[in-house]
Amino acid sequence: MHTKQTLNMKKQIPQWLLVLFILVGTIISCSKDDEAPNTAPEIEEQAFSIAEDVAANASVGRVEATDAESDELTFAITTNDDNAFTINESTGELSVSESASIDYETKTSYTLTITVNDGELDASSTITVNITDVAENVAPVVAAQSFNLSEDTGAGALIGTIIATDENADPLSFTISINDDDAVSIDGSTGELFLTDSTTLDFETKDVYTITVLVSDGELETEVNITINITDVDENTAPVMVAQEFSLVENTGAGFLVGTIVATDDGTEPLSFAIKTNDDDAFTLDESSGEIFVSNTGSFDYETKNVYSLVVVVSDGVFETEAVVTINITDVDENTAPVVTAQTFSIAEDSASGIAIGTVMATDAESNTLSFSIKTNDDDAFEINTSTGELTLATSSNLDFETKNSYTIVVVVSDGVLETEATVTIAITDVEDNTAPAVDAQTFNIAEDSASGTAIGTVIATDAESNTLSFSIKTNDDDAFEIDEATGELSLSSTATIDFETKNEYTIVVLVSDGTLETEATISILVTDVAENTAPTVANTSFTINEGLAAAVVFGNINATDPDQGQSLNYSITTNSNGIFAISNTGDLSIASGMSVNYNTAASHTITVSVTDGIDTTTADITINVAKPVSWDDALIIDFTVTSANATIQLPTLNVPGFDFHVDWGDGSIENDLTNTANHTFSAPGTYTVKITGVLPMLPLSRSNGTTKAATIDIKQWGNIKWRVVSSMFAGLKKLIISATDAPDLSRVNRMDNMFQYCVNFNSNISHWDVSRVEHMNGTFAGTHKFTGDLSNWDVSRVKTFGGMFQFRNNSATHGIENWNVSSAENLSYMFSDSNFNGDISGWNTSGVKFFTGIFSNNKQFNQDISGWNVKKGTQFINLFKGATAFNQDLGDWNVYSATTLNGMFSNSGMSRANYMATLEGWATDTMTVNNMSLSADGLIYCNSMNSGRTNLINNKGWTFSGDTEDCSN
């Protein structure tokens, strides 16, 4: 007997749902239905100009206003400065009143408030009427002015015009001397203010801007402060939806949830989604939720086509927005090197540093993320964006067509595993214009006993255009030199005192000008000795060392010099802090044998070092600071085992802000206060214990370099790191071990998607982890063929999506999940597909699940009695048991009340004729079973004489069947 469940017909009110997935997440939002209200008219601030001698009743101009519903508008002046103006209530025509007395010297502008009404709602704006003067030369007259600008004004929009007058009617020029946030630009001739292209207004962030404008008549200037008030806009705008990308594993079956389109709207209207352009008709879209599914016709093969593009339209009932959605097909089992060919670009010789030259084009058959680097950089003249491959001119570059007209570099493109090199040629194009004088760095000699005025030499410079050159000294070392402006001859200044033992080299910067362009050159002047002995020179110096630095390890060198040629220097410590330090004959400092330093005992040490040349001795005070130690007790500890020398281990942060961490690399090297990706090279193969402490929101080792992913990685201790993102943290690591007995702090983690995906050898104990705050576990253990760990203590009561969690596994472990509380689950799609799972999950609470797509597809072991599952809310049952050859159960008690598709639900499964007919009989006798469904059941057999279930579904419910065949034998 089949039990029936009563459908709760009470209308459910949609609630706001926000799901934030840092790194790879989606945002889903729903809102109540709400009809668009009548909106108020729109009237912007406007400005008009009239001459001071204008006649009464003269037209000033027409006040412009608009109404979204095209209602008839009426105009009125609600604030009338001096009652100087009137307005036509129908047309908005503004005129000078009979009583007005317009006089520029008395008043240069009038400010009115104009109110416009559409029959229900009002809108007001400030209208400025500027009075122009009709001639003595005095400074321009310009008053402080203000403008109003609605926050939704677009970049480049006209704000208003600065009103300025000049008694002599001289032409005026306008400039901005103080520009608040660089938000405004000005037309130098008209005084028109515009919003700059880089400015985005937001009333809630900033509601007023103040700038200072300088008005000049060519001789005199006047400054004025201009206020721009930002007005709030409360009106419906088009939904916001940007281009989005999703990933999909090749061969994924129909009905699979690809992802959810993210769109927002500042109103309360519900959003609806539709596909405008559907690449190969491979996808379907839920018009209410924005969820993208694989269509019944979708068939994906990475080698045939690895990217699909859709044009999606989102509407709030009034406005629409389109965006391109890209779905990248990912490969599983193969990897080929990126493809990049030799390429050629060109750039003008006068290009500025940082200018974009072009983008190195490369492709990858598996659509892996590519990184770019320059292996051989001709003259270090170029830089490349590691993510995009865009080539730019380096800051140190100095291109000159006449010197070098072509550069060749070698670019390396990596997909994280394999690399490809390509030769890139950059041709330099000539620019025929005036060139700066040419002058090279030059060196001169002068004896230390030379008299003032002594000629040193002549700076040699040339000019391609044979312009007359002038010489000057820009930077004069000790003011010791002079230069002849016309000839470039250098001589010793009258104030110079040249002494070889005090200073044996001078450096000056000479500026050579052709009257238009200038060139600088560094000139070195070497002082030659006139033999005498002087003491060595050594400077006071400081060093910083870490606690635990081993004895005899060199941490610094005392750099002493002796001006007397041919003499050797000897070093010694004459004042030593308790004999802690030692110095070699070459000045290398180290901790003495048997000694050590301790921050708490002494944070700083001062020693005296003596340097002698055998005749004279010089001393210096050397300060040695001990760095404050970092506590590693609660650190994240990871053993990295590398098999080759000079292996670089990478701790990636993906350029995400919010990091502040310290790393002890386990080979004596410690790095503190890191905020971005850390790289460290180990000189020899071996196992290195790396400790990490501080703020580390995530550590996506799956996105690290190839050497790191190839290393054996053993998490020895989780420590007190507070994780925020663990999705794909270890994905694809083939040598992952977690031997830590403590557990990671996952209290701030919302998603564990793909955390261990394709960790094919992973089988560590993680049974004690607290996952009670996690809401998404899509693909967490997909492809973990050897993982058999116990997960029975995992609290998954908050988890909403389990899509593909145990997919693509060839072991039969059940992990103790039979008694999991899945009451919050909404999506179980492909959870056990292509695996050998056969755990008794008959007691699971599936009452909230909407997506049952492919849960057991191609699972050759599962055959549990799950007839008691509550599937009342289920909409998608595509391929649920497709290819599940062991499954043979009666599901007649299933309450398929909300189903939208059953395609392939039982195709090629192991369901017997008896259980198939019993299932259909149960569904047919339940009056709440959904109507007009299509059920494809390839490979199954039925017999209408056994019961009337199949016939009744066809005749009474409008169902259609395909793929099954009738066989009443036996």
From the DSSP assignment, how many helices (H) and strands (E) are in the chain? 3, 60
User: Of the candidates 327, 334, 202, 316, which has an alpha carbon nearest to the alpha carbon of residue 277?
Assistant: 327
The whole-number pLDDT of residue 673 equals 87
User: Of the candidates 768, 761, 763, 821, which has an alpha carbon nearest to the alpha carbon of residue 791?
Assistant: 768
The whole-number pLDDT of residue 387 equals 94
339-428 has the same fold as 37-132: yes
Measured distance CA(405)–CA(334) in Å, rounded = 43
DSSP-derived letter for residue 838 is -
On whether the CB atoms of residues 674 and 623 are closer than 8 A, the answer is no
Instruction: Give residue limits of the domains in the chain.
Output: 37-132, 339-428, 438-528, 541-626, 756-970
φ and ψ of 335, to 5 deg: -150, 130
The whole-number pLDDT of residue 395 equals 82
The whole-number pLDDT of residue 532 equals 64
Please state which CATH class domain 438-528 belongs to: mainly beta
DSSP-derived letter for residue 271 is P
φ and ψ of 599, to 5 deg: -60, -40
**692-701 residue pLDDT tens:** 999 999 999 9
Give Cβ neighbours of residue 414 (< 8 Å, ≥ 6 apart).
338, 370, 371, 373, 420, 706
The whole-number pLDDT of residue 251 equals 81
On whether the CB atoms of residues 246 and 165 are closer than 8 A, the answer is no
The whole-number pLDDT of residue 332 equals 66
Would you state the CATH architecture of domain 37-132? Sandwich (2.60)
In 40-108 the beta strands, taken as DSSP E runs, fall at 46-51, 59-62, 74-79, 85-87, 93-96
On whether the CB atoms of residues 542 and 563 are closer than 8 A, the answer is no
The whole-number pLDDT of residue 155 equals 85
The whole-number pLDDT of residue 302 equals 85
Measured distance CA(551)–CA(589) in Å, rounded = 10
DSSP-derived letter for residue 417 is S
DSSP-derived letter for residue 682 is E
Measured distance CA(150)–CA(152) in Å, rounded = 5
The whole-number pLDDT of residue 379 equals 87
> What is the DSSP secondary-structure string of 294-362?
E-TT----TTT--EEEEEEEEE-SS-EEEEEEEEEEEPSS-----EE--EEEEEETTPPTT-EEEE--E
**62-115 residue pLDDT tens:** 999 999 888 999 999 999 888 999 999 989 999 999 988 898 889 999 999 999
DSSP-derived letter for residue 436 is P
The whole-number pLDDT of residue 137 equals 65
Please state which CATH class domain 339-428 belongs to: mainly beta
Measured distance CA(869)–CA(516) in Å, rounded = 86
The whole-number pLDDT of residue 5 equals 39
Helix residue ranges per DSSP H, 872-912: none
Which amino acid, residue 330? T
Gyration radius (Cα) of the chain, Å: 40
The whole-number pLDDT of residue 703 equals 95
Which CATH number is 541-626 given?
Answer: 2.60.40.60
Measured distance CA(3)–CA(730) in Å, rounded = 46
Measured distance CA(611)–CA(809) in Å, rounded = 71
Query: Which residue's entry shows tokens 């939904």?
Result: 239
SS3 at position 831: coil
Positions of the chain with pLDDT lower than 50, given as ranges? 1-35
> What is the DSSP secondary-structure string of 12-37?
PPP-------TTT----------PPP
DSSP-derived letter for residue 132 is E
**Inter-CA distances, 722 with 204, 632, 662, 676, 697, Å:** 33, 15, 15, 17, 7
CB atoms within 10 A of CB 620: 17
